[in-house]
Homo-oligomer: A and B are copies of this chain.
């Protein structure tokens, strides 16, 4: 576990990974959504790349820019992210988003299971949507793009 924490045991790092599950792929999108200093974002992305959690590829739509996407081992961090979301939503403040099993629309339980289908769906089979009644305090391009329900890991177009 200590070695897992060396890779991801830091606040910004886990928020970057969470945003990657939401489909954020561009440096500027992480930057505006997390409101993180560019130097810090660059440092944390490089760490995640070194640790094999994020992969960087050229952005076909913007010469000279890159896309940052979760690797297979990065995608397997979903249970960690979900467990943190559940705990924070219960003990800190209500979450802004909810998570449903895509094929049956059942809300996932605290353990990340679909009680209807008796499975623990992988992130690509989960749809996230804004919690009813939640009013976002930000209006950056990512917050706006996340308004509609969407499947985790589906690239976000901003």
Q: List 16 A-B contacts (CB under 8 A).
A: A1-B81, A2-B15, A3-B88, A4-B84, A5-B14, A7-B92, A9-B11, A73-B90, A76-B91, A79-B86, A79-B87, A79-B110, A80-B83, A80-B87, A82-B83, A118-B118
Q: How far is the CA of A120 from the CA of B118 in the complex (A)?
A: 12
A residues near B (Cβ < 8 Å) are: 1-7, 9-11, 14-15, 18, 52, 73, 76-77, 79-93, 95, 110-113, 118, 120
Cβ contact of A91, chosen from B14, B73, B81, B82, cutoff 8 A: B73
Asked if A92 meets B10 with Cβ closer than 8 Å, knowing A83-B79, A87-B77, A111-B112, the reply is no
Q: In the bound complex, do residue B4 and residue A15 qualify as a contact, i.e. CB atoms below 8 Å apart?
A: no
Closest to A80 in B: B83
Q: Which residues of chain B have C-beta atoms less than 8 A from A52's C-beta?
A: 91
Extra A-B contacts (15), CB below 8 Å, given A76-B90, A80-B80: A2-B15, A4-B87, A4-B91, A5-B14, A5-B15, A9-B11, A73-B90, A76-B87, A77-B87, A79-B110, A80-B83, A80-B84, A83-B83, A111-B113, A118-B118
**Which residue among A3, A4, A82, A111 has the maximum number of chain B CB atoms within 10 Å of its CB?**
A4
Q: How far is the CA of A111 from the CA of B80 in the complex (A)?
A: 10
Q: In the bound complex, do residue B1 and residue A84 qualify as a contact, i.e. CB atoms below 8 Å apart?
A: yes
Q: Which residues of chain B have C-beta atoms less than 8 A from A90's C-beta?
A: 73, 76
Q: How far is the CA of A14 from the CA of B76 in the complex (A)?
A: 19
